[in-house]
């Protein structure tokens, strides 16, 4: 069993990258943190009226932990892709790979010791805001939400990671092409699998 985890600023490209990797790797499954958001009625609102979605309390993290542990117990029965991938590679035979993708993963202690590789996709402010403006959210972003909540929480979280000297995170430039990012991460996974086999 091998675990990769993708963390990213909002609209950093983690979901697209994870899906493309799944198609290249055999016996690969994805668990997305976005699937564990609490309903809007259970998400706290601050004094400005902003719904606080970019914090761990907005998520059913205990359910996410359970899903990951259930996958670990029986990866072969989890509905993973078992057919030949687009690219075959000897070190991947008989290995089950789980990609976990989300925006708040590395500061959640119950999961943090599981990860073999940690990737963090970053974006500069203007590009992140531009991408976010092209997406439709339910509930929709209120005026000032990106600057008042989303971006500050991203900076806070990223600073916490950078100050944690024991945390090994591979920071990736989210402005690079998907092809370049995919090539890098795929090669990195293969190298890591070879190390684990040695």
Average pLDDT value for residue range 93-108: 86
Average pLDDT value for residue range 128-138: 87
Catalytic residue selected from 29, 34, 46, 62: 34
**How many angstroms separate the CA atoms of 177 and 85, rounded?**
22
3-state SS record for 22-54: HHHCCCEEEEEHHHHECCHHHCCECCCCCECCC
80 confidence band (pLDDT: 50, 70, 90) = very low
Decide if 34 is catalytic.
yes
Residue 82 has pLDDT above 60, yes or no: no
Residue 3 has pLDDT above 80, yes or no: no
134 confidence band (pLDDT: 50, 70, 90) = confident
The structural domains of the chain, ordered by start, are: 2-76+92-196 (3.40.50.300)
Of 74, 59, 153, the closest CA to residue 108 belongs to 59
Of 50, 59, 39, 55, the closest CA to residue 147 belongs to 50
What pLDDT is recorded for position 90? 54
pTM for the whole thing? 0.85
What pLDDT is recorded for position 136? 82
**How many angstroms separate the CA atoms of 6 and 120, rounded?**
6
**How many angstroms separate the CA atoms of 149 and 111, rounded?**
25
Long-range contacts, 106-112 (Cβ 8 Å, 24+): 106/5, 106/7, 106/161, 106/167, 106/169, 107/56, 107/157, 107/160, 107/161, 108/56, 108/61, 110/61, 110/65, 111/64, 111/65, 111/68
Residue ranges with strand state E in 39-191? 97-102, 117-122, 170-173
Average pLDDT value for residue range 185-197: 86
Question: Residues 18-37: pLDDT tens digits?
Answer: 999 998 887 889 999 999 99
Query: Mean pLDDT score of the chain, rounded to an integer?
Result: 85
């Amino acid at each position: 069993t091998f675990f990769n985890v993708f963390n990213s600023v909002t609209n950093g490209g983690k979901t697209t990258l994870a899906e493309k990797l799944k198609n290249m790797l055999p016996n690969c499954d994805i668990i997305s943190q976005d699937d564990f958001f609490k309903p809007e009625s259970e998400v706290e609102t601050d004094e400005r009226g902003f719904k606080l979605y970019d914090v761990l309390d907005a998520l059913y993290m205990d359910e996410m932990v359970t899903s990951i542990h259930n996958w670990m117990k029986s990866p072969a029965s989890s509905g993973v892709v078992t057919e030949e991938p687009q690219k075959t590679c000897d070190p991947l035979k008989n290995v089950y790979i789980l990609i976990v993708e989300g925006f708040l993963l590395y500061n959640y202690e119950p999961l943090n010791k599981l990860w073999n590789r940690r990737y963090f996709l970053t974006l500069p402010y203007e590009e992140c805001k531009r991408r976010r403006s092209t997406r439709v959210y339910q509930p929709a972003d209120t005026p000032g939400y990106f600057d008042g909540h989303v971006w500050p929480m991203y900076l806070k979280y990223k600073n916490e990671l950078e100050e944690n000297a024991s945390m090994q995170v591979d920071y990736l430039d989210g402005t690079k092409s998907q092809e370049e990012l995919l090539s890098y991460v795929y090669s990195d996974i293969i190298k890591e699998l070879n190390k684990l086999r040695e």
